[in-house]
Amino acid sequence: MHAIWVIAKRELSSFFDSLVSYIFIVVFLGIGGFFTWLFGSDIFLIGQATLQPFFSIAYFTLFFFIPALTMRMLAEEKRSGTIELLLTKAVSDWQVILGKFISCLILIGVALVLTIPYYITVWALGPIDHGAVWCGYLGMILMSMAYISIGLFASSITNNQIVSFLLALFIGVFFLIIFDVLSSNFTGTLGQILNFLSMSTHFDSISRGVIDSRDLIYFLSITSVGLMLAQTSLSKRNIVE
């Protein structure tokens, strides 16, 4: 546990020492705020005290931003060779993966905490469904976990950051749109399976304020499969031919 935290701390300080974290937070809050308050189907247009507009825009911004945060995490270490230095210290492959996962999750957590003023403001404007808001935040975190693990996997199989970024987007877009679109074209079991695989099905139900074990299992399974694949790809060097 100690090693995981040491690695997470280093990743976090590298986020905050560079401009990455600041750009991420400012753009995330900017886009979120713009569409929540000023433009499109913002809350004044809807005329309801709800954070739904924010969640639906964050649903897309995180899809783009998380691969940008995770793309360098393993790819850069592999390119520069620092991964060798890291893995010959008293840490396991799992600890490295989890440390990086946690650091990224914390950064997104920080960005989400900074949106609390939106919540308080909307609350001041009218009666708000507190349950739905907290569930929406929970959904954001679960969704981020899934995207981070996908991003880490993409980063683990290449040493090129751009490839890693595009690959993470490519995998992510299946969960974001493609399964959803396909599910409406198929009926029966296949349709149901595709519908279950689509992220929006699960995110929508959580952000409405319904916590269903199926949704939790969905997000946690994507996360664990992504992390396991990342770990496998990292420990590929040990494969005995």
Partner 1 sequence: MSIVVNNLTKKFGSQRAVDNISFEVKTGEILGFLGPNGAGKTTTMKILTCYTAPSDGDATINDLSILESQDEIKRKIGYLPENNPLYYEMPVLEYLKFVADLQGVQKDKIQSRIDEMVHVCGLNIEKHKKIGELSKGFRQRVGLAQAMIHDPEILILDEPTTGLDPNQIVEIRKLIKELGKHKTVILSTHILPEVEATCDRILIINKGKIVADGTSDMLRKRARGEEMVRIQIREFKNKDDVVTSLKELDSVSIVDFVNDDPDSFLVTSKENYSSKKNIFNLCVQKNWVLTEMTPIETKLEDIFRELTTN
Per CB under 8 A, residues contacting partner 1 are 2-3, 6-7, 10, 13-14, 17-18, 80-82, 84-92, 237-241
Which tokens sit at 166? 């595009």
Minimal distance, residue 198 CB to partner 1, in Å: 39
Minimal distance, residue 16 CB to partner 1, in Å: 11
Which tokens sit at 183? 């599910």
CB closer to partner 1 out of 7 and 58? 7
Which tokens sit at 109? 């957590």
Minimal distance, residue 87 CB to partner 1, in Å: 6
Distance CA 159, CA 80 (A): 9
Distance CA 16, CA 11 (A): 9
What is residue 101's three-state secondary structure? helix
What is residue 182's three-state secondary structure? helix
Minimal distance, residue 75 CB to partner 1, in Å: 14
61 and 32 Cβ atoms separated by less than 8 Å: yes
Minimal distance, residue 157 CB to partner 1, in Å: 17
CB closer to partner 1 out of 124 and 240? 240
CB closer to partner 1 out of 7 and 71? 7
CB closer to partner 1 out of 13 and 221? 13
CB closer to partner 1 out of 23 and 113? 23
Categorise residue 81: left if φ over 0, alpha if ψ from -120 to 50, beta otherwise: left
Distance CA 35, CA 16 (A): 26
